[in-house]
């Protein structure tokens, strides 16, 4: 692996294409274990620069606030009350422009490195309303001038809010006038009702909720921020109470740039190259991570009041988040982890004197508890109803996913039929590398997906649907969402049958040309995951369940052919005549 050249699987493109799909996945997954994505070092430099721009840009913009002082005086004003308010607004703006999560090559966004703003200021692109049948004036999937205007208001009102001076007597610069946040709150809410993609990209469940806290008195604001952070940590910890997370740890550590040793990376798997299930090591690390996100925030929020043990806990949690950042996980929530590190020092260090026991207004609980308790509870029990982001079921391997199946010239027709700002990843790579490198590098996503537990179920379902079909191209739903919507961050509800219907409106595929396998996340109280198979022209073909325990025993390449075990099958059209039903 060089500064610009990726580390590719040891096979030429012609030989790779001649292999059956299970053999291709063996090549990809075995290579991933030792090399991860095979990212050129220039890509890591790209993310380092982006993080420095986030830190430096936010510090510079905040330093322009009257009463604070310049960057040279940052040590004297970083803990001022208005600083955290403006960091929330800056981070929301950073994310909704597309510079944060879901950007750059590790999300298969090569050229250009961002989508978001390039799509959402462009009429005719696809939008996905969350409740089109229930909320008036939100039906349709085509972005209009109204949607573009609302998005522009979000950008402009966030920028305007960043430039506002503080009012009052809290600290040297006061606090932001909460009324100045109303245009941003209203525009984001209205836009979210017309396009869930933008609301999720803005991280409305965190930064949008934090904007509402501006309306509470100074001390209650800080208590609200602490409760939001506590919910994020505990939600993430709860999401890891499953059998999926060790697969995530093993796969993520294989891609960690600070672990160059292939021997060390192989330790995360049972017996490379023969058995690519997680070894005991990622199980131990998964348990440590879960315990950390429960115990340390509990101490900081309810017991810590400054002093040695508080700062020891802060240091431990800072190292925890910096470790996540150092692995440069796919989806790249890098700035998000930087925000967490600053929040630790700011809320529980510089303002350790503010305790949840000092809460004055019970209305704050009325505002935050539905988002911090009810939505996560519903999302864990009914993951089909709530995005994994507001449900706070973060990177734990248990989220909705999809695989798109194309036959004939359907993939070319998809690319020609949509209004977008980029090409599909293979086409993007073709502008940077030769044809063979572009092909092999674009296939690495299949290896990454297959090493997760849900990827093993996908491989079985793909064989069940396509067994014996010679001309089927499989594309991960994440890549379709990034191409068609301009943003992707692990949210499978952005590339399910709703997006398929929007694509069909524009492309008019014939039956069998485009099918989508949608796999829902696992409910916290069940050992199964629901799946559906949709055809662009025919609609729902089949639905049923797969068992999580079946995923845990399989290798990341399919071995069952059309007989992958499925349960509670409801069939409208058979996926293939050879497919067999297995009922519970």
Q: What are phi and psi of 518, to 5 degrees?
A: -105, 125
Whether residue 562 lies inside any domain: the answer is yes
- Percent of the chain exceeding pLDDT 90 equals 88
CA atoms within 13 A on the CB side of 534: 21
Confidence band, pLDDT 50/70/90 cuts, at residue 575: low
Asked if residue 195 is part of any domain, the answer here is no
**pLDDT 10s digits, 503-543:** 999 999 999 999 999 999 999 999 999 999 999 999 999 99
Cβ–Cβ < 8 Å for 536, 425: no
Per-residue pLDDT averaged across 486-499, rounded?
Answer: 96
Q: What percent of the chain has pLDDT over 70?
A: 98
Residue 122 lies in a domain: no
Task: Find the Cα–Cα–Cα–Cα dihedral 224, 230, 233, 236, rounded to 10°.
Answer: -80
Asked if the structure places residue 249 within a domain, the reply is no
Question: What range defines the domain where residue 548 resides?
Answer: 401-571
Helix (H) or strand (E) holding 250: helix 245-254
How many CB atoms sit inside 10 A of residue 318's CB? 17
Name which of 398, 412, 390, 419 is nearest 523 in CA terms. 398
Instruction: Work out how many domains the chain is built from and give that number.
Output: 1
Positive or negative, the CA dihedral 181, 183, 186, 192 is negative
The mean pLDDT value for 544-565 works out to: 94
Q: Does 43 score more than 70 pLDDT?
A: yes
CA distance 559 to 582: 16
User: Would you state the pLDDT for residue 248?
Assistant: 96
Whole-number average pLDDT of the chain: 94
pTM of the shown model: 0.95
pLDDT confidence bin for 581, thresholds 50/70/90: low
Instruction: List the structure tokens of 549.
Output: 């325990």
| Residue 576: pLDDT over 60 | no
Q: Provide the b/e sequence for 212-241 (b: ≥16 CB within 10 Å).
A: bbbbbeebbbbbbbbbbbbbbbbbbbbbbe
| Predicted pLDDT of residue 548 | 97
pLDDT average, residue stretch 463-475: 90
Average pLDDT over residues 34-43: 91
Q: What pLDDT is attached to residue 572?
A: 85
Phi, psi (rounded to 5 degrees) for 546 = -120, 155
User: Higher model confidence: residue 50 or residue 584?
Assistant: 50
Give domain status of residue 251, yes or no.
no
Q: Which two tokens stand for residue 281?
A: 């090591």
Query: To 10 degrees, the CA torsion angle through 546, 466, 128, 478?
Result: 80
Look at residue 577 in the predicted model and tell me its pLDDT.
Answer: 53
User: Rounded to whole angstroms, how far apart are CA atoms 124 and 119?
Assistant: 9
pLDDT of 251 > 70? The answer is yes
Asked, for residue 43, whether it belongs to a domain, the answer is: no
pLDDT at 394: 83
- 495 belongs to a structural domain: yes
Confidence grade of residue 99 (pLDDT, cut at 50, 70, 90):
very high
Q: Report pLDDT for 305.
A: 83
Confidence class for position 584, pLDDT limits 50, 70, 90: very low
Would the CA dihedral through 474, 477, 482, 484 be positive or negative?
positive
CB atoms near residue 391 (< 10 Å): 24
Task: Read off the pLDDT of residues 406-464 as tens digits, 9 standing for 90 and up.
Answer: 999 999 999 999 999 999 999 999 998 988 899 999 999 999 999 999 999 999 999 99
Which tens digits make up the pLDDT trace of 205-225?
A: 999 999 999 999 989 999 999
pLDDT at residue number 5: 83
The pLDDT, as a whole number, for residue 574 is 64
State the pLDDT confidence band at 172, using cuts at 50, 70 and 90: confident
Question: What is the per-residue pLDDT across 309-368, written as a single tens digit (0 to 9) for each?
Answer: 999 999 999 999 999 999 999 889 999 999 999 999 999 999 998 888 889 989 999 999
Query: What does the longest C-alpha to C-alpha distance in the chain come to?
Result: 74
Q: Is the pLDDT of residue 578 over 80?
A: no
Q: Does residue 282 belong to any structural domain of this protein?
A: no
Q: What pLDDT does residue 580 have? A: 52
């Amino acid at each position: 692996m060089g500064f610009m050249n990726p580390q590719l699987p040891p096979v030429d493109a012609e030989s790779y294409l001649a292999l059956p799909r299970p053999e291709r996945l063996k090549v990809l997954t075995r290579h991933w274990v030792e090399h991860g994505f095979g990212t050129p070092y220039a890509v890591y430099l790209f993310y380092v620069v982006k993080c420095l721009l986030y830190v430096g840009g936010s510090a510079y913009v905040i330093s322009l606030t009257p009463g604070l002082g310049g960057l040279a005086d940052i040590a004297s004003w970083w803990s001022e009350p208005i600083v955290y308010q403006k960091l929330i607004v800056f981070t929301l703006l950073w994310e909704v422009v597309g510079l944060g999560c879901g950007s750059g090559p590790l999300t298969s966004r090569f050229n250009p490195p961002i989508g978001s703003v390039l799509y959402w200021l462009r009429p005719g692109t696809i939008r996905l309303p969350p409740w089109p049948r229930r909320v008036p004036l939100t039906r349709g999937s085509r972005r209009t001038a109204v949607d573009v205007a609302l998005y522009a208001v979000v950008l402009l009102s966030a920028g305007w809010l960043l430039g506002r001076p503080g009012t009052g007597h809290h600290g040297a610069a006061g606090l932001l006038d909460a009324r100045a946040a109303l245009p941003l709150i209203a525009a984001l809410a209205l836009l979210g009702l017309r396009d869930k993609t933008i609301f999720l990209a803005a991280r409305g469940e965190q930064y949008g909720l934090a904007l509402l806290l501006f309306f509470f008195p100074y001390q209650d604001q800080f208590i609200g921020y602490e409760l939001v952070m506590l919910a994020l940590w505990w939600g993430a910890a709860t999401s890891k109470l499953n059998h999926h997370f060790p697969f995530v740890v093993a796969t993520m550590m294989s891609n960690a740039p600070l672990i160059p040793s292939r021997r060390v990376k192989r330790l995360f798997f049972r017996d490379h190259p023969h058995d690519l299930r997680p070894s005991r090591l990622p199980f131990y690390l998964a348990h440590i991570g879960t315990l950390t996100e429960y115990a340390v925030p509990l101490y900081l929020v309810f017991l810590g009041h400054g002093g040695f043990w508080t700062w020891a806990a802060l240091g431990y949690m800072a190292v925890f988040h910096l470790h996540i950042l150092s692995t440069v996980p796919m989806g790249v929530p890098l700035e998000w982890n930087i925000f967490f590190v600053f929040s630790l020092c700011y809320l529980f260090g510089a303002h350790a004197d503010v305790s949840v026991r000092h809460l004055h207004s019970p209305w704050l609980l009325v505002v935050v508890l539905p988002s911090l308790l009810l939505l996560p509870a519903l999302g864990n029990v009914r993951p089909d109803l709530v995005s994994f982001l507001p449900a706070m079921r973060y990177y734990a391997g248990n989220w909705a996913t999809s695989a798109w199946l194309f036959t004939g010239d359907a993939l070319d027709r998809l690319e020609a039929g949509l209004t977008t700002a980029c090409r599909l990843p293979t086409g993007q790579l073709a502008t940077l590398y030769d044809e063979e490198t572009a092909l092999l590098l674009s296939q690495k996503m299949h290896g990454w997906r297959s090493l997760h537990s849900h990827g093993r179920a996908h491989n079985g379902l793909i064989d069940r649907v396509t067994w014996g079909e010679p001309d089927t191209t499989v594309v991960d739903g994440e890549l379709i969402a990034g191409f068609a919507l301009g943003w992707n961050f692990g949210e499978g509800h952005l590339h399910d049958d709703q997006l398929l219907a929007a694509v069909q409106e524009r492309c008019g595929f014939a039956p069998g040309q485009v099918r989508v396998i949608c796999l829902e996340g696992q409910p916290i109280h069940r050992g199964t995951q629901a799946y559906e198979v949709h055809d662009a022209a025919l609609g729902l073909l089949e639905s049923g369940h797969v068992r999580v325990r079946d995923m845990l025993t399989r290798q990341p390449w399919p071995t069952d052919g059309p007989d992958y075990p499925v349960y509670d099958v409801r069939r409208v059209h058979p996926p293939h005549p050879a497919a067999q039903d297995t009922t519970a």
